[in-house]
Each structure stands twice: as structure tokens, then as C-alpha cells.
A and B are shown apart, each in its own frame.
Chain A
Amino acid sequence: MPETAMKQYGDSLSVKYPVVELQNTTVRFGDKTVMDAFSFSLQQGEKVTITGRSGSGKSTILRCILGFITPTSGAVFIDGEKLSDYSVWKLRSRIAYVAQEPDLGSGKVRDIIKRPFLFRVNAHLRDNMSRLDELFKRFLLSPNLMEADSADLSGGEKQRVALISAILLERKIFLLDEVTSALDSKSKRAVVGYFKFRQDISILSILHEPGNEDFADRIIDLDSITPRSEI
């Protein structure tokens, strides 16, 4: 095969497409503009970290993508499909979301991790529970914690349990909201190492303080790209 043809063939293999796109998205709560005509795209396999001061609208971006907030104007696309009250139910099932302070609900950790498999859309993934031991080990969690009550977990343990729960759902898009904020440096390395290793997923992560996230291909600082008091 000629060299140019090989190059073209190689390029076509690595063609990336946006898995998440925000187009001129504006979010207003009453008089307050939280996000002003914000455009952004996350390519397939890309890992992007968004940073910015408190109140800059970082979490609002994730909430818009999940359909928890309906933008005042603009549009959100997941895998090229516009988020609407019809499509949102299907598109959410392509995303894994981990909140900064995850509310796991009450009960045993193992039961909490099992819970999403009760939803019809995840029922076929039930066997993934067999990966629990491996993931607990990987994220430096004691296997005894599986039988513990969620109320007895520390903030860092909760974050890792929420991450494991998200990983077991086999989504291709991860939205991570400051998921390492309560972790010690060793656990943080384990989490960052895992996501760095995963080439098959796209990650949009939120970070209050830049510089600690090692898996990001691209960092967007909201403070530097938006007018004051808006994103």
C-alpha cells in the first residue's frame, strides 16, 4: 500500500466525533445568568477537564448534559442527537455520572451498587457484579466494605464506591464532578491511573483547582474564557 494511502487509511481509523456537544447554551435562573452562550464539544475518546472558581458554572455544564437543567437557549447533543424530553431517557443511559458528594442512599454498599441493575436499561449488565472484588482492590477499598452500611463510609470511600458503581454500568461517556476531592494521594493515583488507562471512554471532569488531574488531554479554564460574573 502506498505511503499516502496508508496515511489516509490510518487517519480514517482515528476519526473522532463529538460524543457531547453544547451549542450556544445559555442558562438563566431568574435574573442571574449562570452560563452565557457556552459552546463546547467532547470528542470520542477524549478526556477534558473543566476548571474554574466556585459559582463559575462548572457543575451546571454537567447538569445540562444530564438534562437536570433545561437551558434557556441553545442545545445539548449526545452522540449527535439533540437532548429533548423525548430523547433524554435514552441518552442518559449512555452516560455515567459521579457527583462530588455522592448520595449513595441508605443500605449495604453491595446492595447500593446492585440497585442500578434493577432498572430495565441496565438489567443485562447484572453479571458485572462479579467484577466488584477486582474494582474494590483496584481502588484500594477493603472488600469488607461491601457489607458495610453506606452511612459508615468516609467521603473518600463514598466517592470510590460511586465510581465503581458508574464503571459497572459500562457507559462510554463519563461525567465526573470533582470525584477525587476527598481522596488521599494514594487513592487519587489509583483513580487517575484507572481513567488514564481507559482509552475506550470519553471523560468530562470538573475540577475546582487545576493541576491535580493527570488524565486530561485538554483543560478548559472557565475563568479565562468567559466574561466576569458569567461562565
Chain B
Amino acid sequence: MSAENISMFNLAVAYLLLIFPLGLMLWYGIPGVGKMLLAALRMTLQLLFVGFYLQVVFNLNNGWLTGLWLLIMIIVADLSIIRNCRLKLKRLGASMFIALLLGTAIPAFFFLGIILHLPKILEAQYAIPIVGMILGNCMRSDIIGINSFYRMLRKDEKSYLLSLAQGATLSEACRPYLRDAFQAALAPMTATMSTVGLVALPGMMTGVILAGADPVTAIKYQIAIMLAIFSGTAITVFAAIRLSMRSSFTGYGILDRGVFRE
């Protein structure tokens, strides 16, 4: 048993589902119709491009090509974090990239090399979707974590400076903000883990079932990927904050507002 194919005509029919949000937006005068249509168009083009590209990558199944594609995925995620957190690419791009690389590579290696025990870790069929799932979640958590860390630092500047005046090192003075940011970044994943299966069937499990595997195999994959994602997000958020601290404070421990795009 394998997933039923969707014909191009039927896929086009799927766009009819947009009638509901579009209709509601137009009826109530909710702004953003153009943005929504543009997002739908972008999603279509991006996925079509990726679909064709992945087909080539899967057929060739070359480790270098897969590795290159994963690298491109990480760079795109890096740029997205920089844009969403309104940071300057030159100042913090490298820190965010390294954090994403660590947060993705460690759990992905664990998943592909140890849990699945693949003879070839960069096997395209496994590596690309697994890394993609870990990376997507790392990116979302990182945006929450980085935003929370720097927003709280700016808001609580007096309290932060008082810690410095009381003799705290940079690391000691930043600890409460790092703790809160870490908590905020991991909260969505913790909530997802505690309700998974009860509220909704998660994406990977659905995919494995659709591909024809039995539900028990799908559940095993789901448990392993959720643990990998949780671990990856924790590594990414922690590494992103710690690494970015090296570039975002002056030698005197004062937050350098020049790292933000105001």
C-alpha cells in the first residue's frame, strides 16, 4: 500500500478551500487579502520547485548533493531568523547559523545514524525530511527565544544594569533573561508533546501512515522525531543566545543596540 496520487486537476480543486478565508476577509473587511493570496502563491511555487528538485536529489541519492541541499535549508532558516528578529545579518548571521547547525546536526545524526542505523546517514529519502522537520521547529523556537531574550533585556535594562553594578559577570547578569527566553521557546514544543495524539495526529505519523506503514511503526517514528525536535530546539535556542551574546554586548557588558535593525 502506498499513498494515493493527487491529479493536477484535483490539486487545483484544493484551492477552492481558500474561498472560506477569502470570503470572510472580504465580507468583514479584514485587511491582508493580497498578502494571503501572495502567501498561497509563494507556497505553491516553492513547493513545486522543491518537489522537482527533491525528485532529482532522491534519484541521484548523492551524499554531497543531499548535504548541499541541507546546507541551503539551514542558510534559509538562518536568514529567516535574522529577518524575523530584526537583527543585523553581518553582526549575528554567523552565530545564528552555527546555533542552527548544532541544533539540527546533533539530533539528526542521532536519529539517522543511531536510531534508524542507516548505512549512509545522508540518504536523501530520510535525511531531507528528518532534518527539515527538526530545522523548521528549531527556527520557530529560535525566533521566540531570541526575541524574548533581547526584548526582556531592553525592557528590564535598569534591573540588568543593577546586576552589573552589584558585580555580576555578563553571564550571571543575563541568566534570568536566558532562563525566561529558554522557557518561552520550549513551551510550544512541550505543549505539543503533552497533547500529541489526543488533539491531532502529527505530521510525520500521518506521512508514514499515508506511505503505507502500519500505525505502530508510524508511532515509533513520531516518538523519535519529537524527541529529536525537542532536543534540537533546546540546543539551538541555548547556542543562539549564548553565541549572539558575544557580538551583542560591548566589552563593558552593555547591550549594543547596533545589532538590531530599528
Q: Which residues of A contact B (CB under 8 A)?
A: 66-68, 70, 84-86, 88-89, 92-93, 95-97, 99, 101-105, 115-116, 118-122, 165, 169
Contact = CB atoms under 8 A, between A and B. Distances in A.
Given A103-B158, A103-B159, A120-B172, A68 B167 contact: no
Contact of B252 (A88, A102, A115): A88
Interface centre among A89, A115, A118, A169 (most CB of B within 10 A): A89
Interface in B218-262: 250-254
Contacts of B164: 66-68, 92
A85 B249 CA distance: 11
A122 B167 contact: yes
10 smallest CB-CB distances across A and B, nearest first, come from A85-B251, A93-B167, A103-B158, A97-B165, A121-B167, A116-B166, A67-B252, A103-B159, A119-B168, A105-B159
Contact of A122 (B159, B166, B253): B166
Name the residue in A67, A84, A93 with the highest tally of chain B Cβ atoms < 10 Å from its Cβ.
A67
A89 B169 contact: yes
Contact of B167 (A67, A84, A104, A119): A119
B127 to A, nearest CB: 44
Given A92-B167, A93-B167, A122-B167, A85 B162 contact: no
Contacts of B156: 103, 105
Nearest to A93: B167
A121 B161 CA distance: 16
Chain B interface size, under 10 / 10 to 19 / 20 to 34 / 35 or more: 10 to 19
Secondary structure of the B side of the interface? Answer: loop
B166 A169 contact: yes
A116 B158 CA distance: 15
Interface of B: 156, 158-159, 161-169, 172, 250-254
12 contacts: A67-B164, A70-B250, A70-B254, A85-B251, A85-B252, A92-B167, A97-B166, A102-B162, A105-B159, A116-B163, A119-B168, A169-B166
A105 B156 CA distance: 8
Contacts of A119: 163, 166-169, 172
Contacts of B251: 84-86, 88
B158 A68 contact: no
Given A97-B162, A99-B158, A103-B156, A116 B167 contact: yes
A226 B165 CA distance: 28
Counting chain A CB atoms within 10 Å of each CB, the highest count among B156, B250, B252 belongs to: B252
Given A103-B156, A118-B172, A120-B172, A95 B250 contact: no
A169 B167 contact: yes
A85 to B, nearest CB: 2
Contacts of B169: 89, 119-121
Nearest to A118: B172
Nearest to B249: A85
Contacts of A84: 251
Contact of B254 (A68, A121, A169): A68
